[in-house]
Structure 1
Amino acid sequence: MGLTFTEEQEELRTTLRRFLADKAPSAAVRRWMESDEGHDPQLWRQMAGQLGLHGLALPEEYGGSGGGPVELGIVLEETGRALLPSPYFATVALAGQALAVSEDAAAKARWLPAIADGSLTATLALAEASGSWLPADVTARAAPGGDDGRDGWTVSGTKMFVVDGHTADLLLVVARADTGPALFAVDAAAPGVTRTRLETLDPTRHLGRVDLDGAPALRVGPDGDASAYLLTVLDLAVVALAAEQVGGAQACLDGAVEYAKVRTQFGRPIGSFQAIKHKCADTLVKVEAARSAAYHAASVAAEGGSGPPVSGLAVSAALAAAYCADAFTHAAKENIQIHGGIGYTWEHDAHLYLKRAKSSEQLFGNPAAHRARLADLVGIRHR
């Protein structure tokens, strides 16, 4: 894939869009986002069993379909378009991808089949109270239970802003061992684990706080300093989020254009006024540019991040993260402006998209942080 999709990929998009329109309308989204679970367990099982979405981007030998970031991006673009409250992002895009690229055969055999069939929910716990998403800034500690951790590990520390962290069955925790940052698998029901749901801006995506006090853990991924592996995991998460942001931005644009066609003022549709035309046109340009950035990043990720440094996964991910976040927020704001007074009401969905856009801006680093990283990656020095 370059910037076009195969017939099978387009069929996936069409099928999923139709499925979500039928199973996850706005009324259902509002009902699920206010529940303790934060999603519909029946829909979760349907997504895994009927559509096979959970294993779509996982290797076939572990119960998956053998797809990758491109197929995953299609799913996330559609779930983002619908603002679907679901542990899919945390389980498949975060934990699933982290395990899939870990080169840890034992860990993949232990957990990926359960992720693929929908029987296990999981998430990635990286950020802490500092708000940094960089593995180098992690202060949570991991201690071996025996020589070199052969008898397991224990992890202590506090993780913040963990997507579905208060409900996930498995926690993949980034903690610092003597050799550097590494990834550790923690059973959420294990002793020493305390989880709390955070009150956040976006009601459609639940975040949690995870306190770990000597919680038993298993190490996942490479030995020694796993910083390079963890940065790859973070880049894959950023690429997945960019796809979701494109879906949300497109939904905002579609809503604004449709309303501009039917809302009349001074005896004519407001879409005929030059100011509204400009708003819609400018938003279209931003959404299409964001789509190109997200699709390119998914394509690079699918190729394993290969290529020269200026077109590798890190650069593509940083570019997509910065641009897609800005485009989603712009589209969400313009959607409210074009709707006028009704766009500010609780009954209208426009505010839900704006809340998702603003909260997603901070997930895995804000646009300014990604632009700064991009500048460093391509050799631009700040004055």
Structure 2
Amino acid sequence: AADGGFRLSGAKAFVADAQSAELLVVAARREQADGPLLLAAVPADADGLRIRPVAYSDATRKLAELGLHDVFVPDEAILGGEVDAGPALEATLDRARVALGAEMCGLASRVLELSVAHARTREQFGKPIGSFQAIQHKCADMLLRVENMRSAAWYAAWSIDEDEPDAHLAACMVKAYASEACADVAGEGIQIHGGQGYTWEQDLHLYYKRAKADEVALGDGAAHREHVARVAVDGG
């Protein structure tokens, strides 16, 4: 605590686009660990704040680590005052989970589209590889995952928009499913393209890297399944 505000010390990992931000919203608690969660608006050039870029497999999404050492935050920079920001933050994260689920669905749809087009034109043994049952099975499984992601994302978005009681569960479920389904589709797309699927000339490596990045963003599938099970069983 400090006169007219308080000081922040600690670290935040994997903060998206922190390098280009002018203002950062930092979740923190006062000295007592069980106190209310607060959201502090911290200027990117604040004294004691260090922003360090983090090397990452997906070069299209910039991540950084924040280091905070006695960063002064005036009382007026606390968003919503001293009210516990936990519920508001969780609601925001639910929207982010659904947005990521929709992104992964779109990514997987594009990989499927590219894979089907390749299977129709690439020939082996004098016929398109799409005529081979093994390739057909891969494409069918990819389509199943894409449509499941689409349905889950649509329902979760509708649930949040309509303020349905199960909106939080729906958001967690779409992230739980899409995290692994999208990575699976991206991997199968590379397999269908064969050796050229691994080359820089193909865009598949970009989709695969984004799929693997999205898989762990905001928590992976296992973490969300565990949370869904806990909420379903005991409500917390």
Q: Same fold (TM over 0.5)?
A: yes
1:311-345 deviations in whole A, cap 9, x for unaligned? x2210011000111112101100100000000011
1:13-41 deviations in whole A, cap 9, x for unaligned? xxxxxxxxxxxxxxxxxxxxxxxxxxxxx
Partner SS for 2:78: strand
Number of corresponding residues: 229
Structure (1 or 2) with the greater strand fraction: 2
Query: Match for residue 121 of structure 2?
Result: 262
Q: What is the RMSD computed on CA atoms of the aligned residues?
A: 1.7
Q: 2:80 aligns with which of 221, 230, 247?
A: 221
Query: Match for residue 7 of structure 2?
Result: 154
Deviation of residue 223 (structure 1)?
Answer: 2.7
Give the conservation status (yes or no) of the 8 Å contact 1:322–1:370.
Answer: yes
- 2:200 pairs with 1:346: yes
- 2:227 pairs with 1:368: no
Partner SS for 1:347: coil
Q: Distance in 2 between matches of 1:372 and 1:154?
A: 35
Give the conservation status (yes or no) of the 8 Å contact 1:166–1:210.
Answer: no
Letter paired with 2:194: G
Instruction: Work out the percentage of aligned pairs sharing the same amino acid.
Output: 44
Query: Match for residue 185 of structure 1?
Result: 41
**CA 1:169 to 1:247, structure 2 compared with 1: closer, same or farther past 3 Å?**
same
Query: Match for residue 166 of structure 1?
Result: 19
- 2:135 pairs with 1:276: yes
Q: Distance in 2 between matches of 1:346 and 1:187?
A: 39
What pairs with 1:317-356 in structure 2 (closer than 5 Å)?
317-356=171-210
What 5-or-longer segments of structure 2 have no aligned partner?
none
- 2:29 pairs with 1:176: yes
- 2:63 pairs with 1:210: no
Letter paired with 1:359: A
Partner SS for 2:187: helix
Q: Distance in 2 between matches of 1:375 and 1:222?
A: 33
Deviation of residue 222 (structure 1)?
Answer: 5.7
Deviation of residue 215 (structure 1)?
Answer: 2.0
Query: Match for residue 20 of structure 1?
Result: none
Give the conservation status (yes or no) of the 8 Å contact 1:182–1:230.
Answer: no
Q: Distance in 1 between matches of 2:159 and 2:80?
A: 22
Deviation of residue 277 (structure 1)?
Answer: 0.6
Give the conservation status (yes or no) of the 8 Å contact 1:197–1:208.
Answer: yes
What 5-or-longer segments of structure 1 have no aligned partner?
1-142
What pairs with 1:79-90 in structure 2 (closer than 5 Å)?
none
TM score, norm. by length of structure 2: 0.91
Deviation of residue 380 (structure 1)?
Answer: 7.5
Query: Match for residue 94 of structure 2?
Result: 235
Deviation of residue 301 (structure 1)?
Answer: 1.4
- 2:167 pairs with 1:313: yes
Q: Distance in 1 between matches of 2:44 and 2:177?
A: 35
Q: Distance in 1 between matches of 2:134 and 2:234?
A: 37
